[in-house]
């Protein structure tokens, strides 16, 4: 299938992935997990929501937990370069026939809400309240010392169309997994805005669903330490630790109390050169998902967080992947 070309003059300027908003059924239990186990910092909270961030982040929050009756992915947040880019974004979505609205959100400036044609619920903003970073506040370090939100990965029912849509918005392809042979279909794509392997990964599957969101940690030993923390706390690891072939990342996947999946992640590479060529992986090459470490369990391929209010659809094709069980 066609590989999208890099777009260097998108209709509006997305800087990076910024934050994720999750609906959770027990706010206290979720805050306890992300604060004391994972090691994010609680910046604000009330009876209905909590706002957390990594130690490197100057922005007020990169994770919002909202008390809800049913667990779901509520929004994926992206930062744009300016207020003018918010207006350009609204105009562009309107031209595509996509409804949008400007809303007020705590600790953020003017925020644009949109649901893309594939059911992914997004929000864009240019300004968020600032906080001093906590890199040198070592006495506050817990868990795996997460530094910053790195990326999102979603299940998309219309994989190629979703990839093409985000390519138009300036997301540049770094790596992809494709079926072998003539007419092989792309089953997954890793796309970036900020110059690393990805801000947004698009994976074939029942969608729209959030597969995971990821935080960058200082190094592999932080991930190993989190394994110890979770095991001694009676919590299970879903996958890893190990190393991906795709992205070269050292990784660990865990699930929060509602089953939302979080990846702890380090050791990928820079991709900001304008002539960076995407790397192709055969869908049947097991090294792409696991360069070393235990193969991924079935849950990792099949389970994800639905987006609030969106119907989950079957994928256009079923990718033939290597599953551990």
Q: Where are the domains of the chain?
A: 14-129, 144-306
At residue 321, does pLDDT exceed 80?
no
- Here the tokens at position 138 are 């070592």
- 286-300 tens-digit pLDDT: 888 888 998 889 999
Q: For residue 317, what pLDDT band results from cuts at 50, 70 and 90?
A: confident
Contacts of 323 (CB under 8 A, 6+ apart): 295, 296, 297, 298, 301
pLDDT in the model for residue 141:
93
- Of the chain, the percentage scoring pLDDT greater than 70 comes to 98
pLDDT in the model for residue 260:
99
pLDDT in the model for residue 221:
98
At residue 4, does pLDDT exceed 70?
yes
pLDDT in the model for residue 154:
99
pLDDT mean across residues, the chain:
95
- 214-224 tens-digit pLDDT: 999 999 999 99
- 153-189 tens-digit pLDDT: 999 999 999 999 999 999 999 999 999 888 889 999 9
d(C-alpha 191, C-alpha 197), whole Å: 7
d(C-alpha 262, C-alpha 221), whole Å: 17
- Of the chain, the percentage scoring pLDDT greater than 90 comes to 87
For residues 238 and 184, the model is more confident at 238
pLDDT in the model for residue 183:
85
At residue 273, does pLDDT exceed 60?
yes
Provide the pairing of β-strand 100-103 with 111-115.
Answer: antiparallel
Residue 164 is inside which H or E element, if any?
A: helix 159-168
CATH class of 14-129: alpha beta
pLDDT in the model for residue 182:
84
Query: From residue 222, how far is each of 14, 33, 89, 219 by CA, in Å?
Result: 30, 17, 38, 6
pLDDT in the model for residue 318:
83
Long-range contacts of 8-11 (CB under 8 A, 24+ apart): 8/170, 8/274, 10/168, 10/169, 10/170, 11/88, 11/89, 11/91, 11/92, 11/168, 11/169
- 300-315 tens-digit pLDDT: 999 999 999 999 999 9
- 95-135 tens-digit pLDDT: 999 999 999 999 999 999 999 999 999 999 999 999 999 99
CATH no. of 144-306:
3.10.180.10
Q: For residue 319, what pLDDT band results from cuts at 50, 70 and 90?
A: confident
pLDDT in the model for residue 325:
56
Q: For residue 25, what pLDDT band results from cuts at 50, 70 and 90?
A: very high
At residue 243, does pLDDT exceed 60?
yes
């Amino acid at each position: 299938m066609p590989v999208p070309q890099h777009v260097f003059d998108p209709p509006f300027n997305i800087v990076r992935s910024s934050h994720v908003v999750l609906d959770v059924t027990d706010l206290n239990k979720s805050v306890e997990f992300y604060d004391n186990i994972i090691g994010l910092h609680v910046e604000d909270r009330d009876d209905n929501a909590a706002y957390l961030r990594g130690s490197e982040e100057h922005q007020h929050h990169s994770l919002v937990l909202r008390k809800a009756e049913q667990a779901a992915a509520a929004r994926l947040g992206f930062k744009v370069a300016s207020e003018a880019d918010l207006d350009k974004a609204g105009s562009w979505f309107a031209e595509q026939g996509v409804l949008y609205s400007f809303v007020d959100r705590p600790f953020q400036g003017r925020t644009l809400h949109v649901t893309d044609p594939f059911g992914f619920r997004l929000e864009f903003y240019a300004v968020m309240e600032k906080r001093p970073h906590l890199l040198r506040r070592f006495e506050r370090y817990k868990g795996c010392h997460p530094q910053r939100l790195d990326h999102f990965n979603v299940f998309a029912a219309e994989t190629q169309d979703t990839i093409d849509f985000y390519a138009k918005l300036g997301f540049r392809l770094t790596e992809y997994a494709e079926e072998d042979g003539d007419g092989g279909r792309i089953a997954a794509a890793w796309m970036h805005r900020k110059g690393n392997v990805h801000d947004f990964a698009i994976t074939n599957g029942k969608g729209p669903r959030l597969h995971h969101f990821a935080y960058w940690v200082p190094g592999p030993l932080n991930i190993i330490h989190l394994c110890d923390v979770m095991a001694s706390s009676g919590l299970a690891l879903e996958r890893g630790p190990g190393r991906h072939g795709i992205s070269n990342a050292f990784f660990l996947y865990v699930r929060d109390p509602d089953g939302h999946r979080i990846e702890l992640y380090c050791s990928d590479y820079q991709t900001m050169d304008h002539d960076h060529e995407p790397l192709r992986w055969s869908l049947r090459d097991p090294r792409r998902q696991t360069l070393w470490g235990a193969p991924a369990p079935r849950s990792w391929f099949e389970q994800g967080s639905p987006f609030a209010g969106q119907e989950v659809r079957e994928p256009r094709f079923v990718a033939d992947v290597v599953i551990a069980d």
